[in-house]
Amino acid sequence: MPQSLLSIPTPIPPLVEPPNWARLPIVECGEPLVTVVPTERLQVRSLYAEQGIPNAPTEIHVRAGVLARLRQAVSHLPTDISLVIFDGYRPLTVQRYLYETYQAEIAAQNPHLAPHELANRVMEFVASPNADPTCPPPHRSGGAVDVYLISRETGEMLPMGTQPDETSPHSITRYFEENPEEPFTTNRRLLFQAMTSAGFTNYRGEWWHYDFGNQRWANCSGTDHALYGIPLSESGFSG
């Protein structure tokens, strides 16, 4: 029996996020962006570059402190499972492309939505491509990561109930706490437990999205300010 099935991780608790994370100040710590070099337990997939999205980086970059915490997260996983990071620092042009793509997709699926309802629905899955340096999108800070789990034996993604980036109610992190179904419930718990044990917070609308150091992290963790705004080293990593 795989080690991951020997113990059942604890349930994902209710996730509370106060409104308007952008209200919190940023006290930029100056930590650099670094390239994530893949290892056997921490693997890399540049998903948006694979999809041909313009200006999407071909490598994954995050703040140095985020990389250290990703390595900690791996240590909290069963040894038969690896962590894959498929997005980290995201240039504003890529943020804008994703926002407009999701907006078109959701509008086509829900033609009855009023403009403000459409905007709210889109921002459940992707932050506004705001150029204001006082409230950058979480991924632009280098403090947000999108991740999933794979089996080291097969290299296949552990079933999570949806694909990463899927615009579905099933993508809500606790969906399978409210509607239990295996192996989705256990696999999401494994990921949540590993990432939060390393200091990350989860965006409750997406099981794959975790933050450290940015405004959303500060908002979810109860910290009074963010550590990461727009990275000083952004120009060298913007695709």
What residues are labeled active site? 206
Candidates 88, 81, 87, 65; CA nearest to 189 is 81
Tokens representing 17 are: 């996020």
Half-sphere exposure of 158 (CA within 13 A, CB side): 30
CB atoms within 10 A of CB 118: 16
Q: What is residue 157's DSSP assignment?
A: B
Tokens representing 148 are: 């999933």
Q: Which helix (H) or strand (E) holds 151?
A: strand 144-151
**Helices (H), ranges, 19-167:** 47-50, 64-75, 92-109, 115-122
Candidates 60, 87, 71; CA nearest to 210 is 87
Candidates 52, 66, 11, 31; CA nearest to 201 is 66
